[in-house]
DNA sequence: CGGACTCTGATTTTCGAAAATAGTAGCGAT
DNA sequence: ATCGCTACTATTTTCGAAAATCAGAGTCCG
C-alpha cells in the first residue's frame, strides 16, 4: 500500500527526474518561470527539492523540447520568446496539425468520434463555469489540450503526434504570456464546436481551414496583446 | 593554450555530457549499438569513461530525440526499429522536407546556392574514391548529410530545421541497418545532381517530387533488404 | 501442484561533496 | 585612463558512494 509518507513526491512519473521534468515544463509553459529567466541550481534545488544531478537531467530533457535553453558551462535559462520564434512555432503547427487532422478524419473510428465529442463537451462545461478567464483555470487548460489532442489522435503516427505535442506546449506558453493583457477572450467555444462538427462529419476540406484559422488567430492575438514582451532577444 | 593532456575528452562539446551525447548518437545512428540493445550503466561507463550521472543526462537527451527508449526504473535501451516506425519516419520526413525545400527555393540567396553546389561537389568527389560502398565511408556520410542540410538551410525556420535533423538521424539509422545487405547502391549521385539543379534553377515543382522520391526510395530499399530485421517488436 | 510471499543479488536512481569553469574585482604597467 | 594579468567568488559540472527499485529464485502454505 503506497502512502504519501513513504513516497513524498513523484506525482507524474515513476522517477523523480521524470516528475521534475513534468513540473518544470508546467511552470515554464504557464510562465510561472518567465521567458529568459536564468535557472540556477540553488534556486531550483530549493523549489523542487531535488539534487543537482536530477535537476540537470530534467533541464536537459526540456532543452531537447525547446522549452529550456542550455548554455554550455553557463547554465540553463528558460527559453526566450521572440516574434520570430512565435512565427516559426505557428507555421510549424499549421503545417503539421493540418496534415494530422486530414489523416485523423480519414482514419478515425467510432472511438475517435466519441473522444472528440466527449472532450469538447467537458471543455464547454468548464467554460460555462467561468466564461471570462478560461486560460487562468487549470482545468480549462487541460480540457482544451485534450480536445485538440483527441482531434488528431487517430492520425496513425506516434512520431508526428509527439512533434505536435511539443509545438503545442511551445505555443501554449505564448498564450499564457498574452493572457494577462488580452481584454476579452474571443469566441473560442464557437470555433471548437465548428471544428468538431467538421471533423465528425468527415469534412476535411472544411476542417482544415478552420484549424488553420484557429491556430493563426491565436498567434495573431498573442502578437497583438503581448507584442511588447516579444521585442528583446 | 589548450592542450590534450589537460583536456582529455570533450571533442564535440564544451561539457562531457554534450560530448557523450554526440558520441552515443553517432554509435546508435550507425548501428554500432544495435536497435533494442540494453544500455547498462556498467558497460557504458567502461566504454565512454564517464560517471552514472553524466551518462544518464546523455541518455535522457537522446530519449527526447527518439533514438533511445527510456523504461522508467528499468533503464535505457537503444530505440527498437520496426516497419511501423520506418513508415512513420519516412512520412514525417516527406511532409517536412518537401515544405522546407519549397521555402528554401523561394528564399535562398547567393550563399545558399553556393552552399548547395559546393556540398554536392564534395559529395561527388568522395563518391569517386569508393563508388561501391559509400555508406561505410564516414566522410561520405558527413558530406551526404551536409548536402541535404544545405538544400533546406535557407527555409527560414530553425524550429523546422531542428525537427528535420532529428528525423534525418532516425532515418539514417535505418539506412545503416540495411547497408550490409544491399547488393549494390543505386544511382544516388544522379538523383542528388538532379535535385541540385532543380533547386538552383528555382524549380520547386520539379524539386519536390524528386526529393519525395529520393526519400521514399531509400525507405523502400531498407524495407526490401533489411525487412527481416524489422519483424520483432 | 500452484499461487503468494520473501529474500537476495543485480541494476538503476538519487544524493551531496569535490572538481572545473566562468565572471569579476583589484592591481600594476604602459 | 586603458589594457592585461591575477586572485577570488559564484556557479556549474562531474564524480562515486549510498539508497531505492526491480527481477528471479527459493520457500511456505493451501
Domains in chain B, please, with CATH?
Answer: 16-78 (1.10.10.10), 84-229 (1.20.120.530)
Alpha helices of chain A — where are they, by DSSP H? 16-29, 41-48, 52-65, 83-107, 110-129, 138-152, 158-179, 188-200, 204-225
Of the candidates A79, A70, A80, the residue with the CA atom closest to the CA atom of residue A232? A80
Nearest nucleotide to A71 by CA–C1' distance? D12
* B 113-142 near A (Cβ less than 8 A): none
Q: What is the pLDDT of residue A10?
A: 56
Q: Is A17 on the interface with B (CB under 8 A)?
A: yes
Of the candidates A13, A64, A91, the beta carbon closest to that of B65 is on: A64
Of the candidates B61, B91, B167, the beta carbon closest to that of A64 is on: B61
Q: Is A160 on the interface with B (CB under 8 A)?
A: yes
pLDDT in tens, chain B (233 residues): 333 333 445 566 689 999 999 999 999 999 999 999 999 999 999 999 999 999 999 999 999 999 999 999 999 999 999 999 999 999 999 999 999 999 999 999 999 999 999 999 999 999 888 767 667 788 999 999 999 999 999 999 999 999 999 999 999 999 999 887 877 667 777 899 999 999 999 999 999 999 999 999 999 999 998 888 887 54
Q: Which residues of A touch B92 (CB under 8 A)?
A: 157, 159-160, 163
Mean pLDDT of A203-217: 96
Distance from CA of B183 to the nearest CA of A (A): 30
Q: What is the pLDDT of residue B182?
A: 79
pLDDT tens readout for residues A72-97: 999 999 999 999 999 999 999 999 99
The pLDDT confidence band at residue A188, using thresholds 50, 70 and 90, is: confident
Q: Is B223 on the interface with A (CB under 8 A)?
A: no
Which residue in this structure is represented by grid cell 527510456? B70
Q: How far is the CA of B3 from the C1' of C29 (A)?
A: 30
Residue A2 clears pLDDT 90, i.e. is over it: no
How many angstroms separate the CA atoms of B16 and B7, rounded?
Answer: 10
Query: What separation in angstroms does the CA of B150 have from each of A100, A188, B101, B130, B172?
Result: 28, 41, 10, 23, 17
Of the candidates B63, B65, B159, the beta carbon closest to that of A92 is on: B159
Q: How far is the CA of A19 from the C1' of D27 (A)?
A: 37
Q: How far is the CA of B73 from the C1' of D22 (A)?
A: 8
pLDDT above 70 covers a percentage of chain A that reads 91
- Find the angle CA(A212)-CA(A215)-CA(A218) to the nearest 5 degrees: 140
Contact B17 A61 (CB under 8 A): no
Nearest nucleotide to B75 by CA–C1' distance? C12
Q: What is the pLDDT of residue A232?
A: 58
How many angstroms separate the CA atoms of A218 and A210, rounded?
Answer: 12
Q: How far is the CA of B217 from the C1' of D10 (A)?
A: 55
- Beta B68-70 vs A76-78: how paired, if at all? unpaired
Amino acid at each position: 500500500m503506497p502512502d504519501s509518507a513513504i513516497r513524498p513526491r513523484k506525482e507524474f512519473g515513476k522517477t523523480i527526474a521524470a516528475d521534475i521534468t513534468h513540473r518544470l515544463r508546467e511552470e515554464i509553459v504557464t510562465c510561472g518561470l518567465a521567458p529568459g529567466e536564468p535557472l540556477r541550481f540553488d534556486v531550483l534545488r530549493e523549489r523542487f527539492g531535488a539534487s543537482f544531478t536530477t535537476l540537470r537531467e530534467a533541464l536537459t530533457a526540456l532543452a531537447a523540447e525547446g522549452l529550456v535553453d542550455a548554455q554550455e558551462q553557463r547554465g540553463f535559462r528558460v527559453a526566450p520568446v521572440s516574434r520570430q520564434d512565435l512565427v516559426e512555432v505557428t507555421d510549424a503547427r499549421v503545417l503539421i496539425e493540418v496534415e494530422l487532422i486530414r489523416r485523423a478524419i480519414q482514419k478515425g473510428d467510432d472511438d475517435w468520434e466519441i473522444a472528440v465529442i466527449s472532450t469538447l463537451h467537458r471543455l464547454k462545461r468548464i467554460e460555462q463555469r467561468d466564461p471570462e478567464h478560461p486560460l487562468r483555470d487549470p482545468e480549462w487548460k487541460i480540457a482544451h489540450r485534450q480536445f485538440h489532442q483527441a482531434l488528431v489522435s487517430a492520425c496513425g503516427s506516434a512520431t508526428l503526434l509527439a512533434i505536435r505535442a511539443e509545438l503545442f506546449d511551445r505555443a501554449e506558453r505564448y498564450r499564457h504570456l498574452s493572457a494577462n493583457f488580452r481584454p476579452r477572450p474571443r469566441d473560442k467555444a464557437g470555433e471548437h464546436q465548428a471544428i468538431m462538427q467538421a471533423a465528425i462529419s468527415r469534412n476535411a476540406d472544411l476542417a482544415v481551414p478552420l484549424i488553420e484559422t484557429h491556430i493563426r488567430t491565436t498567434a495573431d492575438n498573442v502578437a497583438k496583446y503581448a507584442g511588447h514582451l516579444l521585442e528583446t532577444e
